[in-house]
Structure 1
Amino acid sequence: SSLSYGLVGVAILLGLLLKKRTSGHMNVDKSLATPFLLVTILFPLTLVPAFTDSVIVNYIFAAIFLGAFVYYIWTMYKRKNAEQIENAEVPYFCRIIPKASKGRMALAVLQLLVAIGLLYIGSEKMVGTVQALSQGIGLSALALALIIVPAATAIPETSTALIWGFKGRDTLSLGSLVGEKILYSTFYPALALFLISWSYDIHILLSVIATTIIS
């Protein structure tokens, strides 16, 4: 997903060429500084428990990561002017039912639930496809999953960021990517540290370093 930032840059240039945006510079709200700092500080720390081989240390870092995630959610929720950062687009369901102006919130929630349902169905289909494909080409399902699944799971937030970047909604574009990074730097490591032992090798170290630098 670190490559998403480069793709957003391409979308910005394309939007500029097609006159969908007025500037090639990103105009991003300062509120994104907090999650950026959280990612920069916390993501490299996910390696620390691997060097200790201690269950207690695992739990301590899991609590730290989970606390950071809760803090992020709380600080973003408290932003009363968050909706003023950029004008939000009308949800798709509201556009196809234009007369339902009073039920706009309900339609937005319905659209979100439908999207979540479609993501779940797509995920189920993807898992089955990976297993079938691995048998067909003679590769292990794990090896194929390491190639396909990361790219597939990054598609929703990346496509969202590309569309917003193309239209000049830079804060929303970058925010969708930062929000994903927060999950990968806090909630997911916390869950893993609570459930499994943490291991380390040179490939993981290089991946963390590269991701931190690029992101």
Structure 2
Amino acid sequence: MILDIVLFVLGLIFILIAGELFTNGIEAIGDKLNLSKNFTGSVLAAVGTALPETILPIIAVLFFAETGHEIGVGAILGAPFMLSTLAFPLVGLTIITASLMKKRNFSINIEENGIRRDLAFFLFAYTVALFIVPFENYPVKIITAVFLLSLYIFYVYLTLKSDSEGMEEVEHLYFAPKSENPSLFIMIFQTVFALVLMIGGAHIFVEGIKEISLKFGFSPLLFSLLVAPIATELPEKINSVLWTWRGKDTLAIGNISGAMVFQSTIPVSFGILFTQWNIEGLALISGIFAVVAASFVMVLSFASKKLIPIGLSIGIIFYLVYLYMVLTQNGIMN
């Protein structure tokens, strides 16, 4: 048990360091290439930090037979669930905390069209994946997977072409602290290094928390749905909290909402094609909770920028309810 706790803490430290390096590198690249804040946050940062939780189900499904399929499906479903019910609330609560400490304004500073576009794509794609795919009809599964992949390509195109503000002044690159204009190569190298450290840290973290969690009798699917994504989604959470604390809300929200679009199209397409994709029980409930939590943010984005932090925070209720349901079903809270 002591070794498991050490792995847990060590993995968390690696992820925290990687998150700081990654946000710094992504900001520098976005500024260097004159990319908008929307594209930098919703595509570059989102895809980069989504890699750990994308790799996990692919490895599980391809190399670990039936149990691997359960872990894979759980990890695929767990990512959108964690993003909408844990990552969004962390940003909302960070805004609330920082405003109470007089570190920033309570009103969120985002481009509403960007978050609405992201959430609209997510809600549509994830609803199709959860409720429309007949898991026994393979030709329809192929068509659905191709459709979702095409949908993500269309989303990237719209994000690149959409109106958005340019990058704000960025901090010095950690790998070139004395250079006013570091090369694109060193920026990319720092970002890739951060991703490698992030993935390694996530795997160490998962290994530690896996052994601890299995002692409580979690099934492979529920473990991968509820526990593993906490580690694999940490990059988004850490990056977004750092950006939010610094008042860079468009990057913070785009990092999460863009990852939600990615997770509801790319990994889901893989799951539809290579697993039975028979979503039911607590797995289905997690998907419903993710859709409802994201819908709250979407609705409040049309009301007021001062209400969006509250909408972001509401998702934590669904996470706690779901956690209670899982613990109860596994007899831990009986």
TM-score by length of 1: 0.84
Higher relative contact order (CA 8 A, sep 6+): 1
CA offsets 1:67-102 (integer angstroms, 9 cap, x no match)? 1111122222335x6561x515225425x522x233
Query: How many equivalent pairs are there?
Result: 209
Q: In the aligned structure 2, how far is the partner of 1:117 from the partner of 1:213?
A: 33
Matching of residues 33-48 of structure 1 within 5 Å: 33-48=116-131
Question: Partner of 1:27 in structure 2?
Answer: 109
Matching of residues 156-175 of structure 1 within 5 Å: 156-175=235-254
| Among candidates 57, 68, 71, match of residue 140 of structure 2 | 57
| 1:108 to 1:28, Cα distance in 2 relative to 1, 3 A | same
Question: Partner of 1:206 in structure 2?
Answer: 285
Question: Partner of 2:11 in structure 1?
Answer: none
Question: Partner of 1:122 in structure 2?
Answer: 201
CA contact (8 A) 2:114 2:254 kept: no
Question: Partner of 1:77 in structure 2?
Answer: 160
| 1:141 to 1:114, Cα distance in 2 relative to 1, 3 A | farther
Unmatched tracts of structure 1, length 5 or more: none
CA contact (8 A) 2:130 2:284 kept: yes
CA contact (8 A) 1:93 1:107 kept: no
Question: Partner of 1:194 in structure 2?
Answer: 273
| Among candidates 168, 172, 194, match of residue 87 of structure 1 | 168
Q: Is 2:180 the counterpart of 1:97?
A: no
The Cα shift of 1:213 comes to 0.9
The Cα shift of 1:141 comes to 7.4
CA-atom RMSD in angstroms: 2.5
The Cα shift of 1:11 comes to 0.6
Please say which of residues 151-160 and 125-134 is displaced more in the overlay. 125-134
Letter of the 2:177 partner, please give it. Answer: I
Matching of residues 180-191 of structure 1 within 5 Å: 180-191=259-270
Q: Is 2:187 the counterpart of 1:108?
A: yes
CA contact (8 A) 1:28 1:171 kept: yes
Q: In the aligned structure 1, how far is the partner of 2:218 from the partner of 2:288?
A: 27
The Cα shift of 1:109 comes to 1.0
Q: In the aligned structure 2, how far is the partner of 1:163 from the partner of 1:87?
A: 15
Unmatched tracts of structure 2, length 5 or more: 1-81, 295-334
The Cα shift of 1:211 comes to 0.8
SS of 1:93's equivalent in the other structure is coil
Matching of residues 138-177 of structure 1 within 5 Å: 139=217, 142=220, 144-177=223-256
Letter of the 2:139 partner, please give it. Answer: I
The Cα shift of 1:49 comes to 5.0
CA contact (8 A) 2:135 2:278 kept: no
CA contact (8 A) 1:91 1:108 kept: no
| 1:144 to 1:194, Cα distance in 2 relative to 1, 3 A | closer
| 1:132 to 1:141, Cα distance in 2 relative to 1, 3 A | farther
Q: In the aligned structure 2, how far is the partner of 1:138 from the partner of 1:212?
A: 29
Q: In the aligned structure 2, how far is the partner of 1:114 from the partner of 1:174?
A: 23
CA contact (8 A) 1:65 1:186 kept: yes
Kindly, what percent of the aligned residue pairs are identical? 21
Q: In the aligned structure 1, how far is the partner of 2:184 from the partner of 2:244?
A: 25
